[in-house]
Amino acid sequence: MHTYSASDLLTPEELKAWRRVTDEQYQELLRRGMPLVETPDGVRHSKAEVYRWYFNVPPGAPKWITPEEIEDTLRVWQPSYRQLLTAMDALEILINTHNLLDVLFPRK
């Protein structure tokens, strides 16, 4: 059994605020298997475990894409989308943006 520090455990409301997701998107995260911890006070989420699960870099991604890049992309873009964005969506956004910048500002 894993022991969690109180500062690592988030309530569902805190997690939704942290990830900037709606109630519906939160339910989708749960359906997709987002880690949770059952406590006497109810469901909580380990911030560290959610971070590892949520921002896992998809296999085959370019080496310059890090979990932090995935996190930043999802944080910025998720509020603009009704559907839940995933790490694969973030990967696509990052690669498309990189390709666009290569076209607009070719390397000499």
Listed by start position, the domains of the chain span: 1-54, 57-108
Q: Domain 1-54 has what CATH class?
A: mainly alpha
User: What are the pLDDT digits (tens) for 20-75?
Assistant: 899 999 999 999 999 999 989 899 999 999 988 988 999 999 999 999 999 999 99
Structure confidence at residue 1 (pLDDT): 57
Indicate whether this model's pTM tops 0.85: no
Give the up-direction half-sphere exposure of residue 46: CA atoms within 13 A in the CB hemisphere: 12
Q: Which residues pair with 107 in a beta bridge?
A: none
Residues 6+ apart with CB under 8 A from 11: 42, 44, 45
Q: What is the 3-state secondary structure (H, E, C) of 52-99?
A: HHHCCCCCCCCCCCCHHHHHHHHHHHHHHCCCCCCHHHHHHHHHHHHH
Q: Which pLDDT band holds residue 5 (cuts at 50, 70, 90)?
A: confident
